[in-house]
Amino acid sequence: MTNNKKLLIIFGVIFAVIAGFFVFWLLADPFAQKNDEAVKAQPTKVIKKLEMSEDDYPIISMALKNNDHYVDLIIDKIPEFINDIEFEFLYNSIDENGQEFQKGQFDNFEVEEDKVEKEILLGTSSCTTGTCKYKYDENISSGKLILKLKDAEGKIASFDIPFLVVKEDGDVNLSELEGSSSSLTLTNPNSPNLILHKTLGYYTRPSQDSFSGPYQISSSSILLPLTYSDQENLFIFKDNEWVSSSDIPLNAPFIIVSE
């Protein structure tokens, strides 16, 4: 047998052994089971839901300010058992090309008092060498506040609070507000843009068994009350009680009661 034939036989045997091992590894990876077991053994983080009664819901206020470039967010009547608050403020805007887009701002903080106030920028900022430049988003039309309340055990209560912007000299119908069953129409007479939103909670629960709300028209300015048109009854929270009203004052919760 020549040397060339011997080499061919040796290489052939080596190739066959390597090929056989590779096929065996593909069909039954000796490490696959261990890896699968390792993946299965990893604990899954479960977020526990925090159950809250309506009486413990905080009260929300959102008002446009500084030429609609900021929103003043107030979270009041925060329960004592809440340690941390996380929120995402999402809003819909229109750019210079007329295209609608959604943007948002995020914040997370520890709770030290039963009332907090946060200023939310409607746009972006770039701060270098001690100077900040701002690009503001214009024509804000609607959005929602995603609010998460966390207790000492890490349990979380999450709420979605929608809002609408009531344009100057414009009308808005409550049916446009997500989750609202009311068809009441509001008119903004000669006032800057306002925010119509749910307040989430209330200082005193209304005595009516069935109502829509509570809602609030929020503004950082003191302006004339808004008018409304509908066949539904309007009640506002005034002097620590719910009273019937023919108009809607700013920065005061109100509810709608069907006849």
| Residue 32, pLDDT score | 47
Percent of the chain with pLDDT over 90: 39
Q: What is the C-alpha to C-alpha distance for residues 69 and 35, in angstroms, rounded to an integer?
A: 52
The candidate with the shortest Cα–Cα distance to 52, out of 144, 153, 159, is 159
Looking at the 3D structure of the chain, how many domains does it have?
2
**Chain position carrying tokens 């004339």:** 224
Q: Are residues 75 and 177 in the same domain?
A: yes
| Residue 1, pLDDT score | 52
How is residue 26 written in tokens? 């593909």
| Residue 187, pLDDT score | 77
Whether 145 and 175 have beta carbons less than 8 Å apart is answered as: no
**Chain position carrying tokens 């270098």:** 128
The candidate with the shortest Cα–Cα distance to 193, out of 104, 110, 93, 98, is 93
Q: Are residues 142 and 119 in the same domain?
A: yes
> Per-residue confidence at 159, pLDDT binned at 50, 70, 90?
very high
Within a domain: 47: no
What's this model's pTM, rounded to 2 decimal places?
0.77
**35-44, 98-107, 116-125: least confident range:** 35-44
The candidate with the shortest Cα–Cα distance to 196, out of 231, 221, 171, is 171
Mean pLDDT of 122-140: 86
Mean pLDDT of 126-143: 86
Within a domain: 160: yes
Q: Are residues 27 and 72 in the same domain?
A: no
Q: What is the mean pLDDT of the chain?
A: 81
Within a domain: 48: no
Within a domain: 109: yes
Q: Which amino acid is at 97?
A: N
| Residue 126, pLDDT score | 87
Q: Are residues 124 and 195 in the same domain?
A: yes
Domain range holding 29?
Answer: 3-41
| Residue 31, pLDDT score | 47
Within a domain: 121: yes
- For residue 130, the domain's CATH number is 2.60.40.10
DSSP string, 227-253: EEESSSEEEEEETTEEEE-SSB-TTS-
Highest mean pLDDT among 97-101, 158-162, 181-185: 158-162
List, for residues 234-244, the tens digit of each pLDDT value. 899 988 999 99
